[in-house]
Structure 1
Amino acid sequence: MHPIVESLRDTLIVSCQAYPGEPMRHPETMAQIAASVQRGGASAVRAQGLEDIRAVKDAVTIPVIGIWKDGTEGVFITPTLNHCLAVIDAGADILALDGTLRPRPDGRTLAETITAVRERFDGPIMADCDSLDAALAAADLGIDIIGTTLAGYTPARPKTSGPDLELLAELADRLPDTAALIAEGRVHTPSHAASCRDTGAHAVVVGTAITHPATITGWFREALTES
């Protein structure tokens, strides 16, 4: 297991992202949030977009998981080889990309993409998966980290109200020891995070519940206005 991946064992990773058009959608703001969550004990941060990756990399000393979202439909998380190489060049310590079985925009298979990336990058790669089959296929390619990031966001599985613990349990039982299982997606409370760890996650990613004030505010507002 890569030393960076091993260093994440039993830790919290924080995803520092804001959606386009939001007040916090600025690389400097995301870098400040990243520095704040490092102070709070995050072992790594996940950053989206080339400018954010560069800014966050300058602001923290912990590993940066880099992605590039391009579009909103189909495969859009670091969807092509060119996106992967740009994320690496921006300074990401860990490259994350769509790890589903869906066709990729540049026509390459995931295997072809990984082979080409390995010619340029010897750091860890994370596959954002949506199902058991996709995760096992990614692990067979030698991908270092398998994330449940996209479970519930494609037709492969229904969307659960919290983390997909059923998928997490299946993966904990079937993934090889060479692949680290990271829980990501709808981890909204400390209890959710602990449940992910207890189910077998190597590490847990939390995003919205820590770094998205608009959504968190909405949760409280709804609680106070429910009849």
Structure 2
Amino acid sequence: MEVAPLVQSLKGKLVVSVQAYPGEPLRHPETMAQMAQACEEGGAAAIRCQGLSDIAAIKGRVEVPVIGLWKEGHEGVYITPTLRHAVACVNAGADVVAIDATARPRPDGRTFAQTVRDLRAQCETLVMADCMTIEDIRNAVACGCDLVSTTLSHNKPAIQTTMDEGPDLDLLRQATSEFPGLPIICEGHVHTPADAAAAMGAGAWAVVVGTGITHPTSLTKWFCAAVEG
């Protein structure tokens, strides 16, 4: 598999996920753009973000690549669930489009493989496969995805976890062993620098951190739990 220059630039680097959830105080494109710029200044090699307004605002603020997605709903396939969502992310400015790579049914009836095929037929873009299982990872590799990630392996949002619930290193080790040299990304529940270092030690191409850097509500809860016992 030929690795795209953008993907090569992420090897051994940190990607920061800059997202705010519906109803939260920071949920505004300008706020997310400011946070993305702050992360870039801290050394982030790319920014992962969701929603067309956030993608456009962040793309206009940072120099590093933007990994875009569009979340819709909360159950089943909600990370860039259809071809329409994926094309819209490209049009908003995403350099890479992140798509749920599971075998679960999608609103438009396409499979993941069909979505990737049709997206590439319409747009010039890189694709990041958000996976839950090793079978998802195998399928994503077979589809020729540019990056493959462990994003969905915990099957619950990072904001619903404690600091002690770390990344899925077992899945990461299995994937990197099975596909040596391919861009396998560790994402999901990387809450501390030690978690990130462990992911790199397990063979990750790069590490994505979101909640542990850009979600102050979760960070505050973790500190409150420590202080209050």
Asked if these proteins are the same fold (TM beyond 0.5), I'd say yes
Deviation track 1:199-226 (CA, whole Å, cap 9, x = no partner) reads 0100000000100000000000000111
1:196 to 187, 199, 214: 199
Q: Distance in 1 between matches of 2:200 and 2:125?
A: 24
Query: 1:4 — aligned with what?
Result: 6
Q: Distance in 2 between matches of 1:183 and 1:122?
A: 25
Q: Deviation at 1:176?
A: 5.7
Query: 1:25 — aligned with what?
Result: 27
Q: Which runs of 5+ in 1 are unaligned?
A: none
Query: 2:123 — aligned with what?
Result: 121
Query: 1:76 — aligned with what?
Result: 78
Structure 1 segment 186-225 matched on structure 2, within 5 A: 186-225=189-228
Q: Distance in 2 between matches of 1:211 and 1:64?
A: 16
Confirm or deny that 1:173 pairs with 2:174: no
Equivalent position SS for 2:97? strand
For the 8 Å contact 2:36–2:62, the answer to whether it is kept is: yes
Q: Distance in 2 between matches of 1:121 and 1:176?
A: 28
Q: Deviation at 1:101?
A: 1.4
For the 8 Å contact 2:90–2:125, the answer to whether it is kept is: no
Q: Deviation at 1:121?
A: 2.5
| % identical equivalent positions | 51
Q: Distance in 2 between matches of 1:106 and 1:8?
A: 32
Q: Distance in 1 between matches of 2:45 and 2:219?
A: 22
Deviation track 1:34-76 (CA, whole Å, cap 9, x = no partner) reads 0000000000000100000000000100000000000000000
Q: Deviation at 1:8?
A: 0.2
TM normalised by structure 1 equals 0.95
Q: Deviation at 1:152?
A: 1.2
For the 8 Å contact 1:50–1:68, the answer to whether it is kept is: yes
TM normalised by structure 2 equals 0.94
Structure 1 segment 147-166 matched on structure 2, within 5 A: 147-153=149-155, 161-166=165-170
Confirm or deny that 1:63 pairs with 2:65: yes
Alpha-carbon RMSD across the aligned residues, in angstroms, is 1.2
Q: Deviation at 1:125?
A: 0.5
Q: Deviation at 1:140?
A: 0.4
Q: Deviation at 1:175?
A: 2.1
Equivalent position SS for 1:5? helix
The residue type paired with residue 169 of structure 1 is R
Q: Distance in 2 between matches of 1:192 and 1:34?
A: 21
Q: Distance in 2 between matches of 1:199 and 1:123?
A: 28
Equivalent position SS for 1:36? helix
